[in-house]
Every structure is written in C-alpha cells, then in structure tokens.
Structure 1
Amino acid sequence: MIESGNKKEEYREIKKYWIGRLAKCGGRNSYEKTGFHCKKAICFSCITRGNGFHPKEYTHVRFRFGYTKRTMLFELESITIGVGNTNWGAPDNECVFILKLGKCIKKNESKDSTEFQPKNS
C-alpha cells in the first residue's frame, strides 16, 4: 500500500528501540533518578506523564523490502504520537509513533543506506 501511494502513514511501537531512533534525547533522561522530568527530552515516562514529544529532525525515510536491497525513499513530513489508522496496520486503540509520509522520491533503489536521513544543522 505504501508503494502504490494509498498508505500515507507508517507506524512504530512506542518502545525503547524506537524512542532511541525517533526522539531527540534518545530515551535518556538525566533527571529521571532525581524525581524531576525534563520537558525538553523524551522517554517512556515523559510520554506517559504527558510532558510532550520532541522528535529528531529527519527529512526522509527509506523502507526496505525485507533483507533485500530493494528500497523506497520518501519525504518525511512529520513524526508524531497518536492512534493510527487500523486499516493501514496500526494496533487498535493504542498510541504509536506516526511517520507521516510525503512524496516518493525513489523506488527500487539498490543502494545500502540508513533508514532515516537527518536534516543538516
């Protein structure tokens, strides 16, 4: 559905691995052991306490077809947290990371690369 352009969002569980990939602090909150919680960082406790989500700034996302070299590169419009569309593979009534996809840049590229491409600072 992503390849045909019908699916405009992709979902990832709110777990330590994806927090590390998608959140600015990478899931490390230096105030956690003191009882204070940084409103500019993110970790599972920040999400559940409603302190906000501060995503890393990526411009593109690359999807792979399993372990092959076949990929698709899309513009990444935003990363948010919310309840996704179950018709597109999101779990029922569960908050997830939502990757909002823009236009497809390249399909079937056979180049090795990382999944996300950061914005230049």
Structure 2
Amino acid sequence: MDNNGIRRQAERLEHSVWQAVIAKNGDAFASLFADDYLEITLDGKRARKGQIVEESPQTDEITAYDMDQTEAILLSDDTLLISYHVVIEGTHRRKTIEPRERWATSIWRSRNGSWKCCFFQQSNYAKNDS
C-alpha cells in the first residue's frame, strides 16, 4: 500500500469511530475497538474498552467533527498509526466541549482481515507554524 492508500485507509477507520460517537452506538464501538483497547483522555486519564463502550453513548452528544492535517504511518503489515487535527462540536457530560480543537492519534491493528483500534490519545492543539 502506498502512502496515499495508507492515509485513506486510516481516515476511513477514524471516520467510522467518529460516526459511532455521533450515532451514540456502543455496539459499533465494541466492534471497532480491540479487546485490549487503551485510551488516554485529554485530561490525562486512562480508559479501557469497556468503559468507553458503556460511557460514551451516555455522556457524549457530539453533533459534528472535522478532521484535517492527517498523517498516517504503516508501522508493520498489520499495524498503522494515524495522527490528525480534529475540531469537535457538541457536549460531554452536558458541558460544551472545550477545547474544540485537538490532536488525536490512534493505532489500528489488523487481525484476520479486520481492523481494530487498540490505542487512542487526544492532546491539546497547538497550530504548527511551519
């Protein structure tokens, strides 16, 4: 797969997660995340698959998102990393999401032809000057 193909594949995978968030679809999360999924939240906490699958549909009211500045790296034949800038519209626990702009990074692993997200981390966004 060339660099553009890797980036497009990674973007498709990430869009599937964000669409599950908007749809408040915990079953979709369960199917997209590996059993050993680990997330580092913007406030520095760690969360596992079960917690995200259970809590996100109840606490998140995401109405829209926009991804850009995507970079994807094929780490091995069955593992890829994607990092991107995301702008999120909506609420979390009934509070407006702030900051709306973030960096997001995911690692995806393919097993038996099925891609699963095994890691996700959000970071504060600082615009690149270069």
Alignment TM-score > 0.5, same fold: no
Structure showing greater Rg: 1
Greater fraction of residues in strand: 2
Greater fraction of residues in helix: 2
Q: TM-score, normalised by structure 1?
A: 0.29
Q: TM-score, normalised by structure 2?
A: 0.28
